[in-house]
Amino acid sequence: MTSKPNSGQHETELDITATDPASPALDGVVKDERVDAALGIFSDLKSLEVTPTTSVGAREILGTIAVRKPKNNEFIRVSVKPENSLTTVLFEDKDEGVTYLVAPHIRPLMIAGAVVKMLVLAVNQAGVPFIWPVPVDDQQSRRNAWNESARVAYHKAKTHWVKLVGDRAAGQYRLYIAEGKLPDPRWPDRPFSELLAIGFRNLTIDSEDHAIIRAMLGLTV
């Protein structure tokens, strides 16, 4: 006569089986919530899977933008939108290679170094934006091949990828147009006023106590 299994032992075996996700008897039908919680984000591998060509979206936060001339080793484009340009008074520190914006009420104090240029939004083939101070034709200054060739390049860059290479022997920029098919320029999604504020952060002469004004007037810096 076969003895009946102890009821307590039988219940223990059922409990172990019920909590064992590897049990072949369950065949994956019964799930243990504790295991799912431990897996966390890895409980759904399909949602994590990507292909080598999958693009990862991101939005750049533009914290700096240079105010400069185009470099010899880059192709550039300039914006054709009128709101992306501003003709104004600048001060170019030739020794430091820095360009300052001169506030309107400070302009009468500028003894030397002040120039009128058109600030335009430009971008290179790598998608890096910058602000280009383009020389303006005031019809009064003597002929300057550097300025004239820069203006030609500016107008050409509205529709073509161009490169400016300085030629000191000729005293002008040589202009090259990209022969390959470069992608369309990617412009910053920011108003030009904000880009100017970023570019001229700490580079605005807006006070009589500014170090440049004091030096210009022979005062102690």
**Residue 3 pLDDT:** 52
CA distances from 45 to 36, 53, 100, 140, 191 (A): 13, 18, 54, 71, 42
Q: Which of 110, 126, 112, 109 is nearest to 66 (CA)?
A: 126
Side-chain half-sphere CA neighbours of 150 within 13 A: 22
**Contact criterion met (CB below 8 Å) for 26 and 17:** yes
**Residue 50 pLDDT:** 74
Residues of the chain scoring pLDDT < 70: 1-31, 36, 52-61, 139-141, 220-221
**Residue 12 pLDDT:** 46
**Residue 13 pLDDT:** 47
Q: Which of 105, 114, 127 is nearest to 208 (CA)?
A: 105
**Residue 116 pLDDT:** 94
Q: Which burial class, exposed, middle or buried, applies to 25 when counting CB atoms under 10 A from its CB (0-12, 13-18, 19+)?
A: exposed
**Residue 6 pLDDT:** 54
pTM over 0.85: no
**Residue 48 pLDDT:** 74
**Residue 46 pLDDT:** 80
